[in-house]
Amino acid sequence: MEKMSRVTTALSSNAISGRTMFCHLDAPANAISVCRDATQVVVAGRNIFKIYALEEEQFVEKLNLRVGRKPSLNFSCADVMWHQMEENLLATAATNGAVVTWNLGKPSRNKQEQLFTEHKRTVNKVCFHPTEVYMLLSGSQDGFMKCFDLRKKESVSTFSVIQISRNTPLFSYIPDDLFHTLFLGQSESVRDVQFSMKDYFTFAASFENGNVQLWDIRRPDRYERMFTAHTGPVFCCDWHPDDRGWLATGGRDKMVKVWDMTTNRAKEIYCVQTIASVARVKWRPERKYHLATCSMMVDHNIYVWDIRRPFIPFATFEEHKDVTTGIVWRHQHDPHFLLSGSKDSTLYQHMFKDATRPVDKANPEGLCFGLFGDLAFAAKESLISSDISRKPYPGGDRRYPIFFFKKPDPTEQFAHVSSALSVFETDLDSNRMDWFVKTAQLYLLSGKPFAELCDHNAKVAKELKRPQVSTTWTMLRIMFSDPANLTAPGTNHNLSKLGTLPLMNSFNMKEMGTGMGTESRLERSKGESRQDNIHLEPGNLHISNNNEENEETEGSEGQAEYMFGDAELDDDDLYSMEHDNQTEEQEYTLPQEAFQLRHEIVDNPSAPEHLQQDKADSPHVSGNEAEVTCLTPIESFSLISISQPLFSPHLPASFFCPIVREMLSYYAEQGDVQMAISVLIVLGDRIRKEIDDLTQEHWYMSYIDLLQRFELWNVSNEVIKLSTCSAITCLNQTSTTLHINCSNCKRPMSNKGWICDRCHQCASVCAVCHHVVKGLFVWCQGCSHGGHLEHIMNWLKSSPHCPAGCGHLCEYT
């Protein structure tokens, strides 16, 4: 360590060392520059102008160049540069337009050497010639670049953005002042000037209007070459330290571009898109493809890019809290140290090894859905084990498509990730949305009593093999039907297929009918069934009615029974049991509990008697065992007689609302917004208030959107019509205006009424009845006569000729 630091102080160029460190400045920095041997750095800003020594562990303030009680604006620096040949020489660009040089070798406190006040506006940039000691270039807001010979008091040449030759006869008589006013006052500001590293006479200048110019220092009359590099100002440019033809530019348009200047026309060879306007760009020493950038606004980080990888920074330094204003590589042959100054009044030395590598955090997996449901998935090859079942892609070996194959470049330091791309083809059947379309078409949302709607929809769902949805519908009917209405002429439909829900069955005894495919389950329940002596005729309306009666009577009686029953505790138990079941029902499981329940109920001494009596009383119950499914009712019956009384008197429909709300959210979350909306509409006021309007609106919008994608216009319109959200109902009133032209004179029909303003004729008259057609108008494409749809239909049934009498043989298909 000791040795190392000695080496450092011994100014050996290859052995600088240090660590990531920072120091607080007193004021925001505008620019920094480093001396040739990389031991000192100068920081300049509006209120700061200091030199710091770079020590092993810290920055040490060496010199404050800002002297005097009330420093003049000459000290307010926009830019600073340390001469790379002469270690005592610095130049600053002042915001008031002065260009100042400083000689550190001066014995006095004020190190100011020369002051050039030739620029009228802020000087944005100063630049020493890399090899010529006395040559200094400046670029200013006033549109001029001036070249100074430091041995003289004035600039030696002036380069102007606008090229108007004073020798043109037209301009020759104009006095100098006026000429400047007329043409140069509106010239474009110079944002950056940079001497070429390799070509002795060349320098590049970038401008506020997006142009970059190349100049020969010996020819101030016109530029060698000009091209538009960016839209908007080009804030910075930098010559490649090794490759003479490369120039990097950065602009307000958030781009960094690398230009090849060796060809006739400047050619853009690389382009990096950053996230904010680019304030500075600096090539990284010893790394051909790397450059560092910082931004002028919003983004405070410093990025180092590999220009061949323009999408993700190679390294990031995230230390600054405000925009970074100056970046410089500490030594021109050492790529590991980066210095930066910022508006947050700090000066940093960044070690490259401490940089964040965004590529490590980047997600190397990609996932994308294809148009027809195919799924493409790319992941690191190491992650995807050699899966034998993969079949080669029809398009050849897709693991190495020819155009992705890239020879690994040893200079490129990006970790090479080779990914395997898998394409999963969808099983067409499993992913088809047929069910959605069919459901949408077949569901009934209104126009019938509530219970019927539920039954219908449950049936639809069942036929589409969606048992869960079907069950939900049935449950809803049970929950929300008024007990008095339970008998609503139930369409015979069968739930028992979902034998997992015995309780449900028990409620729906009137529906039991044609239980297909339930036999096995029934067989089982048969064995357990205790009351098998009573059979119902399935699908019998009488029975339904009868059941209703039964239920009602049971309702009252049952309650009474319990009231008088000796076991009040039992009663409670039953209640809690019912509750449990109720919630579990939501999850569609558990036959066991339900059976257990039944047993418990049955164990209640009073219940069976009661039941039996009831059943015996009901006149329509038949002993006919002919039906295969007749056993279901029995079991159900036994249940309903008990559970019904437990429920209906005590649990109003609103009791279920929270559960139903949860269920709707569940469906919506699952992506089945169709179910959520259908239930919402069918339940109507029963549930609407439970769900906040925004959610409802969101569901409606999603569902309507889906319907429209499947071109189910009618259904979507019905849904819109049935919705209660004002935002939705107004949907089908948009763009409902129909502009018509008069059929006679072809002019637009201007306003209400069916008589054309212009020709005072009725528009669109029916050829049959000679009245105005105000609805569907059908016309023959051959003779263009037409009229009311019905009239034309009827007419053409009886006559093949056009009703208008034009003789055309119209056809109605």
Partner 1 sequence: MKALVSRGSVDAVFQQMASHPQYLESFLRAQHYILHMDGPLPLPYRHYIAIMAAARHHCHYLVYLHSAHFLRVGGDPLWLQGLEAAPPRLRLLAHINKVLAHQPWLTACSHIQTLLKSGEQCWSLAELVQAVVILAHCHALCSFVYGCDADSDFVPRTKTPNGTPPTFCPFDAANGNTNVPQSLATPSEHKTRRRVTKPLNCIFFAITTHQSHVLTRPFLFLDMEEEEEIICFADPSGFITDPDFCYEEFARSEEDHFQVFRVQDYSWEDHGFSLVNRLYSDIGHLLDDRFRSVSTLPSLHSSDLKRAIWNYIHCVLGIRYDDYDYGEVNQLLERDLKLYIKAVACFPDATKTPVCPLSWALLKTSERIHVNLLIMEARLQAELLYALRAITQYMIA
Q: Report CA-CA distances (Å) from 142 to 163, 188, 430, 500, 644.
A: 14, 7, 70, 86, 93
Minimum distance, C-beta of residue 346 to partner 1, in the bound complex (Å): 13
Contact 9, 1 (CB under 8 A): no
Q: Tokens 């041995």, residue?
A: 151
122 lies in the binding site for partner 1 (CB under 8 A) = yes
Binding test (CB under 8 A) with partner 1, winner from 106, 153, 321, 432: 321
- What does DSSP assign to residue 651? -
Token pair for residue 596?
């257990």
Strand extents, DSSP E, 612-667: none
What is the contact mask toward partner 1 in residues 259 to 278, using x (rule: CB under 8 A)?
A: -----------------xx-
Q: How close are the terminal C-alpha atoms of the chain, in Å? A: 99
| Helix, strand, coil in percent for the chain, rounding step 5 | 30, 25, 45
Binding test (CB under 8 A) with partner 1, winner from 5, 17, 46, 731: 46
296 lies in the binding site for partner 1 (CB under 8 A) = yes
The smaller minimum CB distance to partner 1, of residues 300 and 598, is found at: 300
Minimum distance, C-beta of residue 755 to partner 1, in the bound complex (Å): 16
249 lies in the binding site for partner 1 (CB under 8 A) = no
The smaller minimum CB distance to partner 1, of residues 118 and 452, is found at: 118
The smaller minimum CB distance to partner 1, of residues 256 and 773, is found at: 256
What is the contact mask toward partner 1 in residues 133 to 172, using x (rule: CB under 8 A)?
A: --------x-------------------------------
The smaller minimum CB distance to partner 1, of residues 623 and 748, is found at: 748
Q: Which residues contact 157 (CB under 8 A, 6 or more apart)?
A: 146, 147, 217, 220
What is the contact mask toward partner 1 in residues 545 to 584, using x (rule: CB under 8 A)?
A: ----------------------------------------
SS3 of 107-151: the string is: CCCCCEEEEECCCCCCEEEEEECCCCCCEEEEEECCCEEEEEECC
| CB burial readout 550-576, b (16+ within 10 A) else e | bbbebbebbbebbeeeeeeebeeebee
97 lies in the binding site for partner 1 (CB under 8 A) = yes
**Cα distance between residue 200 and residue 126, in whole Å:** 17
The smaller minimum CB distance to partner 1, of residues 81 and 590, is found at: 81
**Cα distance between residue 695 and residue 737, in whole Å:** 30
What's at 354, amino acid-wise? D
Minimum distance, C-beta of residue 119 to partner 1, in the bound complex (Å): 8
The smaller minimum CB distance to partner 1, of residues 79 and 306, is found at: 79
The smaller minimum CB distance to partner 1, of residues 40 and 122, is found at: 122
**Cα distance between residue 12 and residue 10, in whole Å:** 6
Binding test (CB under 8 A) with partner 1, winner from 9, 181, 533, 670: 181
Contact 601, 510 (CB under 8 A): no
Closest CA relative to residue 594, chosen from 559, 554, 635: 635
Minimum distance, C-beta of residue 186 to partner 1, in the bound complex (Å): 5
The smaller minimum CB distance to partner 1, of residues 140 and 716, is found at: 140
Minimum distance, C-beta of residue 28 to partner 1, in the bound complex (Å): 8
Tally: H helices and E strands in the chain: 22, 33
Binding test (CB under 8 A) with partner 1, winner from 83, 125, 240, 252: 252
- Burial class of residue 462 in the structure, from the number of CB atoms within 10 Å of its CB (0-12 exposed, 13-18 middle, 19+ buried): buried
Minimum distance, C-beta of residue 451 to partner 1, in the bound complex (Å): 43
459 lies in the binding site for partner 1 (CB under 8 A) = no
Minimum distance, C-beta of residue 212 to partner 1, in the bound complex (Å): 17
Q: Which residues contact 361 (CB under 8 A, 6 or more apart)?
A: none
**Cα distance between residue 153 and residue 116, in whole Å:** 7
- How many residues bind partner 1 (CB under 8 A)? The answer is 31
Name the strands in the sheet holding 324-331, side by side, starting at the edge strand that comes first in the sequence: 21-24, 346-351, 334-342, 324-331
78 lies in the binding site for partner 1 (CB under 8 A) = yes
706 lies in the binding site for partner 1 (CB under 8 A) = no
The smaller minimum CB distance to partner 1, of residues 296 and 458, is found at: 296
Minimum distance, C-beta of residue 94 to partner 1, in the bound complex (Å): 8
What is the contact mask toward partner 1 in residues 190 to 209, using x (rule: CB under 8 A)?
A: ------------------x-
- Burial class of residue 371 in the structure, from the number of CB atoms within 10 Å of its CB (0-12 exposed, 13-18 middle, 19+ buried): exposed
The smaller minimum CB distance to partner 1, of residues 297 and 793, is found at: 297
SS3 236: strand
Binding test (CB under 8 A) with partner 1, winner from 43, 54, 94, 574: 94
The smaller minimum CB distance to partner 1, of residues 18 and 139, is found at: 139
751 lies in the binding site for partner 1 (CB under 8 A) = yes
**Phi, psi values for residue 714, rounded to 5°:** -65, -45
The smaller minimum CB distance to partner 1, of residues 296 and 488, is found at: 296
Token pair for residue 787?
């009229």
SS3 659: helix
What is the contact mask toward partner 1 in residues 652 to 691, using x (rule: CB under 8 A)?
A: ----------------------------------------
Q: Which stretch binds partner 1 (CB under 8 A): 63-71, 184-192, 616-624, 709-717?
A: 184-192
Residues near partner 1 (CB under 8 A): 46, 73, 76, 78, 94-97, 119-122, 141, 181, 185-186, 189, 208, 232-233, 235, 252, 276-277, 296-298, 321-322, 750-751
